[in-house]
Amino acid sequence: MQDSKATHIGSPLTRVDGRLKVTGQAKYAGEFNVAGLIYGVIVSSTIAKGQITKIHTQEALAIPGVIRVFTHENRPPLPTFDRKYQDQDAPGGSPFRPLYNAQILFSGQPVALVTAETFELARYAASLIRVEYEVEAHRVGLREFRDRTHSPNTSKSGFKPPPKPWGSPDEAIAKAPVTVRAEYHTPVEHHNPMELFSTTVVRDEDGRLTIYDKTQGAPNNADWVSKVFGLSSNKIRLISPFVGGAFGSGLRPQYQLFFAVLAALELKRNVRVSLTRQQMFTFGHRPEAIHSFALGASTDGTLQSVIYDVISETSRNEDYVEVVVNWAGMLYQCDSVRLGHKVVALDVPTPMDMRAPGAAWGVYALESAIDEIAYASGIDPLQFRLKNYSEQDQTQQKPYSSKELRACYSQAAERFGWSRRSPAPRSMRDGRRLIGMGMATGIWEAMQKPAKAKAALGLDGRLTVSSATADIGTGTYTVMTQVAAETLGFNAADVTFKLGDSSLPEAPVEGGSATVASVGTAVQQACQKVRNRLVKIAISAPDSPVAGANPEDLAVADREIVHRHDPSRRISFQQVMRLGNVLHIEEKAAAFPRTLIQRRYTRCVHSAVFIEVAVDEELGTVEVTKVVSAVAGGRIINPKTARSQVLGSIVMGIGMALEEESHMDKRLGRFMNHDLSEYHVPVNADIHNIEVLFVEEKDDIVNPLGAKGLGEIGIVGVAAAVANAIFHATGVRVRDLPITIDKVMGGLRSEAIS
């Protein structure tokens, strides 16, 4: 059966959840109020490594209204084995277990929970808890311990070890007439979404728990609670309908979930536990990394050798690792390549995925190094990239399922005005401001994961579709509504999409820009099943206008089944259901990657980002005045939400380039700028003209929808383009992010002296 011309996919539908959010009706995890709710406040460790010798709780417990203080000394029994604490996104190693014993693994580790009848009382009582420690020497700072590396555990979901070397990298670089050897440093960053992590646990008379939690994966967190506390899955329902930003911080269960469930079970009360902004700096972060490059090229700009080694941090208890170096073997054609990645175990919380994990840092270093060798070769940076354009993924010797990167370069360069650029550094000026233009390439995986969905059509003409996925601000509610409406010929206003509930059909954590490809495919298939059921009833019912028709001759549109060759033969969905004597049609679908086909290809989304900066030569301030980003992202389901995703990513990339950095006092092993006053992110005054272009790209391999994820690609390459623009403006190459005023001024002074 063929459908009529689609109208929903590709339309800029306004967010279906937008009104709820702007009117304050959207409820977040810390806003579900119930009778008899008590509050928990977490006490954090003040040392980075050691043992708790004594916890003084008497003063807090003496306050009327304080219910109980939980510590490692009075907690109920907990599982011993690591697998009970591992979740879908866990790396190799031993996951952190709150209150498991007296050992301190990192500064800010939760060591106690104070519960009380009011939040204010719990917070005050928590301030009275005194903890004595036996302090041990801690190890923090990647640069200080870069010689203590080891090969990472490769068991983390999504991690692909660096490929084996090919060609003769060392020999080729020794013979290359043009070489660049450079080291880049990328700092620790923290996610800092607007919504703090919070969990509200509601316990019914039968002991069942309804858990309102901030998460990017309700099924993942529900399963984790089940394993840690030994509860059957039918005793737990975890709900997360709205998420106030996450950027990867909600992929794994955070420790407030543990404490809220623990207190609810032990006290048999409804409990809420929320983290403070300072405590948001006491779990996962984007890991610090050191990137070492050696590039060789011929005088005509042909890459002859690429050697790229990364050292990144992990925790002592888990072996966190990202795909950082592999992109260098994918983006550019080169006959001799060696890529390596080592990690250093430090006394810090386990790092975790943050928007475009691995690529955000790896492509920054790669695209900066490519810019350097382009200048060293005397070739325009864009032309250098085009000259070394890769037609296949050399790391796996596979073709790309689609790759419209050349079109990205062309369209973005034209819109940006790259031809106006004067090639020499320090050659463009506006008054006392030096003007620079830089560009970089972006790349990210186009993934599809197994997912399930359900579609239910009622006799009232309403379509309800559901999956346990999340919406972290990306527009999942909206695009799934569009996919469902498109598939069944509905108006979007007559479709309801439900998500964020562990009782719904299972879905993977929302991360990696895989949600539309994964859940969207399941939604499409569930709706197709409903459509097929309607058609089967329509052609088999004797009184139907399309009785006996060939299914291939029928189309669906406007909640009707229509004969393609005789439009007068049509029947509404409601009439079909009445003829079939059914009040409700419900179908489920499980969508899986088409492994046999997809494994033959490398599936990626690509981008080209061009940036203009203005650098005040006297003050060292950097202003990003113009950005043009062209993205080849397959089929764009909703141009409005897609553009918003890329815009947000670009802003985050500007922050990465110029502002974001978590500073650690290495004597204490503690992050010090742990609030939004001192942890700097871009504000309105920092952001100017940003233009997003979507390059037409058809891909029948990535998934049945032909869509590629967009949440990550917008950030990849932005920091490099900013850094490259600053070099073009000033002649100063800053290789240490973020590029702050002191680094720019230091470079300008050195330039002046030389």
What amino acid positions are annotated as catalytic residues?
A: 712
Q: How many helices (H) and strands (E) does the chain have?
A: 16, 33
Cis previous bond, 738, omega within 30: yes
CB neighbour list of residue 677: distance below 8 Å, 6 or more residues apart: none
Single-letter amino acid, residue 11: S
The torsion angles phi and psi of 525, rounded to 5 degrees, stand at -70, -35
Structural contact between residues 411 and 695, judged by C-beta atoms closer than 8 angstroms? yes
Region of 259 (left: φ > 0; alpha: ψ -120 to 50; beta: rest) is alpha
Query: What CA–CA distance (Å, rounded) separates 484 from 126?
Result: 49
Q: Which helix (H) or strand (E) holds 44?
A: strand 37-44
- Kindly tell me the burial class for residue 77, based on how many C-beta atoms sit within 10 Å of its own C-beta (0-12, 13-18, 19 or more): exposed
Region of 741 (left: φ > 0; alpha: ψ -120 to 50; beta: rest) is alpha
Structural contact between residues 415 and 407, judged by C-beta atoms closer than 8 angstroms? no
Query: What CA–CA distance (Å, rounded) separates 207 from 585?
Result: 33
Query: What CA–CA distance (Å, rounded) separates 710 from 169?
Result: 34
Q: Annotate 652-714 with three-state secondary structure.
A: HHHHHHHCCCCCEECCCCEECCCCCCCCCCCCHHHCCEEEEEECCCCCCCCCCCCECCCCCCC
Query: What CA–CA distance (Å, rounded) separates 554 from 539?
Result: 10
Structural contact between residues 250 and 325, judged by C-beta atoms closer than 8 angstroms? no
Q: Chain-centre distance of CA 380, in angstroms?
A: 33
Q: Chain-centre distance of CA 298, in angstroms?
A: 38
Structural contact between residues 734 and 438, judged by C-beta atoms closer than 8 angstroms? no
Query: What CA–CA distance (Å, rounded) separates 155 from 521?
Result: 27
